[in-house]
Amino acid sequence: MTIDLHGKNVLVTGASRGIGAAIAREVGSAGARVAVHYSGNKEAANRTVQEAGNGSMAFQADLRDPIACQRLFAEVIQQFGHVDSLVNNAGICPLAPLQDEQWIAKCDEVFAVNLRAVAILCREAVVHFREHGGGRIVNIASRAAFRGDTEDYLCYAASKGGVVSLSKSIARDFGKDDIECFVIAPGWVKTDMAKEALEQYGEAALLEGVALRRLTEPMDISPMVAFLLSGLADHATGTTIDINAASYVH
């Protein structure tokens, strides 16, 4: 089976590195033109653009700012003409134990990036899709949305739970507008975002409970995103696909 995304425009947030960069490369290899969103690392974003090919472009936005989220989507439409699919991958996962004096500020930032920005971009996408014959959304959540997490990641888990609920609502209410919405829920993925946890706990600790021999990597997630965007799984809209090496099964 060949995934064919030729002629499709796909916005991938947080695509300068890690899971987002792998997704951009994957959908680019399937023929899509990719809007590579990045926050601060323009050089890395430009590398992803080159790897994705097909006239892909980089777009900067600070997703902590709701106006910047709206502007991002508008700029992609301005450059590409239309968007066929949105992949909300960008997220942050700071260590935030309860005794941390910056706990409230850290949680505010987590909710802003991981949930509010996702909601805003989904809103922009749904409005756009309803005017242009439909579209597909893939939101990257986490196993933490379902099983919870440790003290250090209370707000992270809560933000990802919100992403799952948001996605289900979009799938249920906009299906007859030919809009499909899916969730992917990884566990720990070996990326720069996990670096703080890897340094804090060690890779052996993160491997506890993982059924396979290694931590999940970005390349383990990106093919599923391309598949969901292809239209071959539209009747799975609203579903969550766990890619966590059986570290949480529900």
Q: How far apart are CA 69 and CA 67, in angstroms?
A: 5
Look at residue 249 and give its three-state secondary structure: coil
With contact defined as beta carbons under 8 Å apart, do 87 and 225 qualify?
Answer: yes
Q: What angle do CA 125, 45, 193 make, to 5 degrees?
A: 85
Q: Which residues are catalytic?
A: 156
Per DSSP, the residues of 147-192 read: H---GGGHHHHHHHHHHHHHHHHHHHHHGGGTEEEEEEEE--BSSG
Q: How far apart are CA 179 and CA 191, in angstroms?
A: 30
With contact defined as beta carbons under 8 Å apart, do 29 and 23 qualify?
Answer: no
Q: How far apart are CA 222 and CA 177, in angstroms?
A: 26
Structure tokens at 108: 């505010």
Fill in the DSSP letter of residue 113. I
Fill in the DSSP letter of residue 232. T
